[in-house]
Structures are given as structure tokens and as C-alpha cells.
A and B are shown apart, each in its own frame.
Chain A
Amino acid sequence: EPEVTQTPSHQVTQMGQEVILRCVPISNHLYFYWYRQILGQKVEFLVSFYNNEISEKSEIFDDQFSVERPDGSNFTLKIRSTKLEDSAMYFCASSAGGGRGETQYFGPGTRLLVL
């Protein structure tokens, strides 16, 4: 069964450093998303992406964050100048379509720890 994959599974970085989290969405999916989950808190939407551009972003997704689809398979989230509060699990998700009933399938996540 096709699945969303993410690398790395864990990332430890120093405050102020840049990190890039990578995702390979399900191959025939066209809509991509990033969510994060701070330990013990709810899953929060960051951004959605379609047709090589951002469709929607939350207030969390400020200038520190960017997304890119550098090739036909990868979807990346870059966090510049990381802060302690960026420590969280970051989930990538994809869906085949953008309709209201379209299921979003989540990857296993990247656990980011900022020291």
C-alpha cells in the first residue's frame, strides 16, 4: 500500500541553525501539507501546497518557514534560524484531491529537537 515517507525520523539541531525536513508524498497525490505536533499538544496545520505554490498557511507559518517541491517526488519544509519552541514532531501529509472529503494521509513524522 502506498505511503507517505519522511526523512530524517529524528533531527537534533542547535538554536539558530537551519533544518530541512523531507517528505515523499504518495506518488499520484497532488495536494501536500505540513502539520506539527508539540509534545502533549494537538496537531496543528502549518501549510498546504498545490500546483507548485502555497494554497494556505497558518499564522505559525511565518517568514522563518518555507516549502518547496524541488523535483517530482520530494516535498520539503525548511525552518530557518530554529528556535527552542520549534521542537516538535513535524508531519507531512498528502491527498489525491482537494475536495472536502479527500482523505489526507500522514507520514511517520520527523521529531525535531532544538537545543
Chain B
Amino acid sequence: GQNIDQPTEMTATEGAIVQINCTYQTSGFNGLFWYQQHAGEAPTFLSYNVLDGLEEKGRFSSFLSRSKGYSYLLLKELQMKDSASYLCAVKTTDSWGKLQFGAGTQVVVTP
């Protein structure tokens, strides 16, 4: 089976940086996505990694190490509106298009 682990909650102050880790154990890794989900709302796409390395998109960056089964999402210059759950999701080669989600990391940004 698949295992995707993320910390449950992280707290950081406005303007700071937070790094959300995700480790996965899958057979046939085929890409990793990060989504943001505000309470009661839909997940919204943030980033995608399939090759090792860093992908940067404005204040958000995502890193992948396939050999370690590890990814992180880096949020810089935190804003209050960044308070949300951040979901790590994996695709595998034995599946057609299914995203398998971790439980999500709740980030709380304080003033």
C-alpha cells in the first residue's frame, strides 16, 4: 500500500518562513503535488514535482528527492491568508490518474 506522512500542524509568525515536509512510501512513484485547502473549501493547486530538485513559484517553492521519498513545501514571507491546510498528494505508475493524499498539515500564521 501507499503511505504519505505529513506533520499535523505547524505555527509560524507573519513574515516568517515555514517548511512543510512530506514523506512517502509508494510503489512506482509518478509525481507529487502540493495543494492548499482553506477550511470548508476545495483544494487548490500549488506545485508539481516529478524530477529531483526545487521548483519555485513566487513565495512558494517545492522540493523533491525521489531516492529519499521526500518532498517539502516552503512558504516564504508568510501572510495571514496563508493559514490553511497544505496537502501532499502522490501519483503512482500503477494508477491511471488517482491522486493519493496525505492527511494535510494545518499551518497557523500568527501576527
- A residues in contact (CB < 8 Å) with B: 4, 31, 33, 35, 41-45, 48, 55-56, 58, 89, 91, 95, 98, 100-109
In contact, A100 and B98 (Cβ under 8 angstroms): no
Residue B30 CB within 8 A of the other chain: yes
Known contacts A33-B97, A48-B98, A58-B98; is-contact A108 B50 (Cβ 8 Å): no
Once A100-B50, A105-B45, A106-B42 are accepted as A-B contacts, the answer to whether A44 and B30 lie under 8 Å apart by CB is no
Number of cross-chain contacts by CB at 8 Å? 62
Q: Decide: A31 and B97 in contact? CB cutoff 8 A.
A: yes
Since A4-B42, A48-B96, A106-B35 are in contact, a sample of 11 more A-B pairs with Cβ atoms closer than 8 Å, ordered by chain A residue number, is A31-B97, A33-B98, A33-B99, A35-B99, A44-B101, A45-B98, A55-B97, A91-B43, A101-B48, A109-B41, A109-B42
Q: Report the minimum CB–CB distance from A49 to chain B (whole Å).
A: 10
CB distance from A59 to the nearest CB of B (A): 11
Asked if residues B50 and A41 are in contact (CB atoms below 8 Å), the reply is: no
Q: B87, A43: Cβ atoms under 8 Å?
A: yes
Q: Which range contains the number of B residues in contact with the other chain?
A: 20 to 34
Q: By the criterion CB–CB under 8 Å, are B97 and A102 in contact?
A: yes
Measured CA separation A44–B99 after assembly (Å): 8
Rounded to whole Å, the gap between the CB of A2 and the closest CB of chain B is: 13
Chain B hits for A91, CB < 8 A: 42-43
- Chain A residue nearest to B95 in the complex (CB): A56
**What are 20 residue pairs bridging A and B, where the CB atoms are less than 8 Å apart in the complex?**
A33-B97, A33-B98, A35-B99, A42-B101, A43-B101, A45-B98, A48-B96, A48-B98, A55-B96, A55-B97, A56-B96, A56-B98, A91-B42, A98-B97, A100-B30, A100-B50, A106-B43, A107-B42, A108-B42, A109-B42
Point out residues on B near A: beta carbons under 8 Å: 30-31, 33, 35, 40-45, 48, 50, 87, 89, 91, 95-104
Chain B residues, Cβ within 8 Å of A41: 103
Contact of A106 among B31, B44, B48, B97 (CB under 8 A): B44
- For B97, list chain A residues within 8 Å (CB): 31, 33, 48, 55-56, 95, 98, 102, 104
A58 to B30, CA, bound (A): 18
